Amino acid sequence: MRADVLVVGGGPAGSTAARLLARDHDVAIVEEHRTPGEPLQCAGLVTERGVPMFARESVVSEVKGVRLHSPLGFALTLESRSSRAYVIDRSHFDRIMFHEAVDAGAVPKLGTSVRSLADSAHGVRASLRSEGKEESIEARIVVGADGYKSICRRFSGLPSPKHMLTGIQVDVKCVDIDPDFVEVFFGRDVAPGFFAWAIPAGDLTRLGLCTWDASDAPAVYLKKLLARPQFRGCKRVSTTSGKIPIGPGRSAVGGRIMLVGDAACHAKPLSGGGVYTGIKGAELCAHTASEFLESRGRTTLKAYDSLWNEEFGKELSRAFRVRRIFLNLTDKKIEKALRIFSDPAVKRLLEKQGDIDYPASLSPAILKLAPRLLQFSPQIVESLL
């Protein structure tokens, strides 16, 4: 079989690239699971820009604020007058995105895994396996949207992520959960290297956390989270786990292989979210790939790197520097930082202009209002100005 583009991975990023490219080109989309969106590996908190209009039926609730809990008991509440984020049924969302790609003309191959990739006369040859049967596809371009274990990244020769977060999440039925707020918990004994969360999701609450360089498995910290007074008695409905690669390299293109989403390490370093950057990156990838195909190779796939770096790459870089500061904070310093953020002027700025897709973009404005933050890591903080 031959195709103009082989998309590996049927998540939001892969489905977006396949949908856009299938309008004018022959596209095949390979998904290793039989059902798109399963298993679930996402908290499902996204901004409006991360949910296309045709997928809005996947939204189960909206939130307008966040409460940030320090390890020592201080809580900072940030609230907007209107909705700031959607909570989606991620499995349903993925299925909608996948079927939109198929409706646009992409040829689906479910329950199919990519075993290897190799250069060929036409671009890239992919060896596939489905139900024990082997087949191959030759494509002029491969779009790797195959997550943190990306075989496409390995064959492209691109570097590994700087950090690999390990996460676990449970859906529970709870009482006394404010449906308008996400709760975030910090601390070395809570979720070392990252944070824990409680997200209202309609009739359920999503409790989870990610860790990095931790001494214990995420499940150990989840047990402690569930033991908190506000979560005691919650009935567990389901459990999921996974990994999130953060810290991309300078390029997401290796030969005829283009990476998007988690395969490109495009998840946000401060939140771990990757739906928006995955979809946006896929749009830019599809644009570049289409121009390459239509010009018969006279343009370069490397143009994709310029596009994603300009759109959100600078934000990812700045956010990773903020993360380096966070990793050096003791529990006492986290408490101190949150109290600085509670300064009325800083709080108003965060409530008015805070954006979970571009959180680090406010760093210069925050530092001008709260120069005391320089005490935490002067060299890194000054580089954000």
User: What does 175-193 look like in DSSP terms, one character per residue?
Assistant: SS--TTEEEEE--TTTSTT
The rounded Cα 107 to chain-centroid distance in angstroms is: 26
C-alpha span between 375 and 28 (Å, rounded): 53
Contact residues for 35 (Cβ-Cβ < 8 A; gap 6+):
95, 110
The answer on 335 and 223 residing in a single domain is: no
306 and 253 belong to one structural domain? yes
Question: N- to C-terminal Cα distance for the chain?
Answer: 52
Over the chain (385 residues), the average pLDDT of each successive run of 10 is 96 98 98 88 89 96 95 94 90 97 98 95 93 93 97 95 96 86 96 96 94 96 94 90 95 97 97 96 98 91 98 95 91 94 94 90 86 72 54
pLDDT score for 286: 98
Instruction: Pick the last residue of a domain from 187, 210, 245.
Output: 245
Tell me: do 171 and 309 sit in the same domain.
no
- What domain count does the chain have? 3
Q: Which of 291, 319, 347 is the last residue of a domain?
A: 319
Strand order in the sheet with 59-63: 45-46, 85-88, 59-63
Note the pLDDT tens digit of each residue in 128-163: 999 889 999 999 999 999 999 999 999 999 999 999
What's the pLDDT tens digit per position in 190-226?
999 999 999 999 899 999 999 999 999 999 999 999 9
As given in the structure block, the two tokens for residue 176 are: 């006394």
Per-residue DSSP letter, 215: S
User: Residue 278 corresponds to which tokens in the numbers above?
Assistant: 């995955």
pLDDT tens for 59-89 read 999 999 999 999 999 999 999 878 889 999 9
On whether both 269 and 313 belong to a single domain, the answer is: yes
Q: Strand pairing of 112-120 and 123-130?
A: antiparallel
Any domain includes 51 = no
Q: Record the tokens describing residue 6, joined without a space.
A: 């082989």
In a domain, 294, yes or no: yes
pLDDT of residue 364: 84
Contact by Cβ (8 Å): 206, 43: yes
CATH number at residue 230: 3.30.9.10
Instruction: Let me know whether 103 and 240 are in one domain.
Output: no
Instruction: Let me know whether 358 and 301 are in one domain.
Output: no
Instruction: Let me know if residue 270 belongs to a domain.
Output: yes
Q: Considering 210, 245, 280, which residue would you say is the last residue of a domain?
A: 245
Q: In this structure, are 186 and 237 located in the same domain? A: yes
Q: Could you tell me the residue range of the domain that residue 213 belongs to?
A: 61-88+163-245
Residue 33, CB-side half-sphere exposure with 13 Å CA sphere: 15
Rg of the chain over all Cα atoms, to the nearest angstrom = 21
Asked whether residue 256 falls in the same domain as residue 371, the answer is no
Asked if the structure places residue 53 within a domain, the reply is no
Classify residue 56: in a domain, yes or no.
no
Residue 374 falls inside a structural domain: yes
Sign of the torsion angle spanned by Cα atoms 91, 97, 100, 102: negative
- Which pLDDT belongs to residue 369? 86
**Dmax over Cα atoms in the chain, in whole Å?**
63
Residues 256 and 131 in one domain: yes
3-state secondary structure at position 199 = strand
Do 96 and 80 fall into the same domain? no
Q: State the CB neighbour count (10 A cutoff) for residue 51.
A: 23
- Taking 3-state DSSP, the helix, strand and coil percentages for the chain, each rounded to the nearest 5, stand at 35, 30, 35
- What is the spatial distance between Cα 47 and Cα 278, in angstroms, rounded to a whole number? 13
Residue 147 lies in a domain: yes
Considering the domain boundaries, does residue 178 fall inside one? Answer: yes
92: its two tokens? 């349903």
8 and 22 housed in the same domain: yes
CATH of the domain at 255: 3.50.50.60
pTM, two decimal places: 0.95
Based on the domain organization, do 31 and 99 belong to the same domain? yes
Residue 16 in 3-state DSSP?
Answer: helix
Compute CA distances 363 → 347, 354, 383, whole Å. Answer: 13, 10, 10
